[in-house]
Amino acid sequence: MIPKDAENTAVDEVEELAADALRRLLVQARDVGDGGLGWPERPSDAAPEAMYYNGTAGIVPTLLEAWRHFDDDRYADTALRAARGLASAVEETEDSSLYFGLTGMALALHAVRDQLGDAHAGAAAERAMALVRSRFDGTRWGELFELMGGNAGIGLGALALGDTEFAVRAVEPYLDAAERTAAGVQWPHRPGVPGRMHHISHGTLGIVIALAPIGVASGRADLTELALAGAADVVSRDEAGPDGFLVPHSDPRHGGELTARHNYGWCHGPAGDAQVFRLLRDALDDSVWSALADRCWHTVTRSGLPERLSPGFWDNNGRCCGTAGVLALACDRIAEQGDSPDFARVLVADLAAHAIRDADGARWSNVEHRATPSELEPETGWAMGNAGIARELLRWVRLSRGGAPDYAFAWPDQPAVRRADSQATEPIRPAGAEAAS
């Protein structure tokens, strides 16, 4: 935990910043009829967006976090209205995935049912997942075949919702689609692309983070073995050992020369890789994966972020691709293994320094150095905007005051904190796990 003698004034200021970010979110909500609310990705957008990644479903967890943190029913009431808006969008949502479609919406609706007792939200979650099941062609749901938009995320969401049988069906196609490599396996994230991505958002590790827990929950050793083979392929690509861990964005480089060879955040870098290794530690074998997670953190903390060292190096504040996503891992490490809070403080200070504040609250503008103007319009949602940043700031404040490290609602690809005093069950280690060490 962050020491209780941390400067209270600084912590109070960060809490106020999070409250200002939440205030701006409330201002940006739009009435979608029948008492429901929705949020656009950007204030200038014509219509609200339902998806988790940058829409209403991703704002719901932040509202639940704020309700618990501030004990203010205004946030619970807004979450209920957001759930009503999501419920009205279920039948018109064509995408079925975790981050971009119905599975993520179902998780948000289910959380509202559980925490606020809203049966209407629970029924809408069931309708959403019924549609997801009906759209499965036996192999996939569309072009994407990874965590954010494809089978892995849908399987992981189904597992979180208690449907292990459907979770298995969702990820079984990875058995036949796996491409053997010198060290393990990999998958194309969509048909017809030459590049193979490696990290959590669209790559091999995003599939691994679904295969491993689904394999353990279902007793399917073939799925856990496949998870280990995928992890082994990624580990074999490390360019920063023995102390660090840094794997290229993709091979051959997906997107060409415009794509950075290395990234450091959650989506395509070691901040996200470490989350996969944390899950493998909990599900399979502590001794192998904890060391890899430590190596990821070694690289992250020595990379130079959050300084904007060069155009395109570090220009995002958000949860998916920027500083807030690294803060999530920093807080996990503080809670689990007593890491120094110093780097987390650096990240929080950077978020505070980049905040734009006015009468409506606080917001953040990300940067695209190849565009003119380079300052992008501030966003509302989980991935790039206020919802994802405020949620991590509130958690940091709670840890700073010696509070619990858990989120009000945990997203399934970020493992829950494993406390040092918890009595964990004996880890399962399928044959061949040494291949990833």
Q: Which tokens belong to 191?
A: 């048909």
| Distance of alpha carbon 85 from alpha carbon 64, whole angstroms | 16
* Integer-rounded Cα radius of gyration of the chain: 20
Specify the long-range contacts of residues 3-11, CB closer than 8 Å, at least 24 apart.
Answer: 3/341, 4/401, 4/402, 6/341, 6/400, 11/397, 11/400, 11/401
pLDDT tens-digit readout, 365-397:
999 998 999 999 999 999 999 999 999 999 999
Contacts of 353 (CB under 8 A, 6+ apart): none
Q: Which tokens belong to 292?
A: 């890899």
pTM to 2 decimal places: 0.94
pLDDT grade for 8, boundaries at 50, 70 and 90: low
Q: Which tokens belong to 399?
A: 């840890």
pLDDT grade for 430, boundaries at 50, 70 and 90: very low
Contacts of 6 (CB under 8 A, 6+ apart): 341, 400
Contacts of 373 (CB under 8 A, 6+ apart): none
| Distance of alpha carbon 421 from alpha carbon 405, whole angstroms | 14
Yes or no: say if 250 and 182 are a contact pair by the CB < 8 Å rule: no
Predicted pLDDT at 431: 30
| Distance of alpha carbon 85 from alpha carbon 63, whole angstroms | 14
Predicted pLDDT at 287: 80
**C-alpha distance from residue 376 to each of 260, 317, 365, 366 (Å):** 19, 12, 6, 5
Predicted pLDDT at 105: 99
pLDDT tens-digit readout, 134-156:
999 999 999 999 999 999 999 99
End-to-end CA distance of the chain: 29
Neighbours of 338 (CB within 10 A): 11
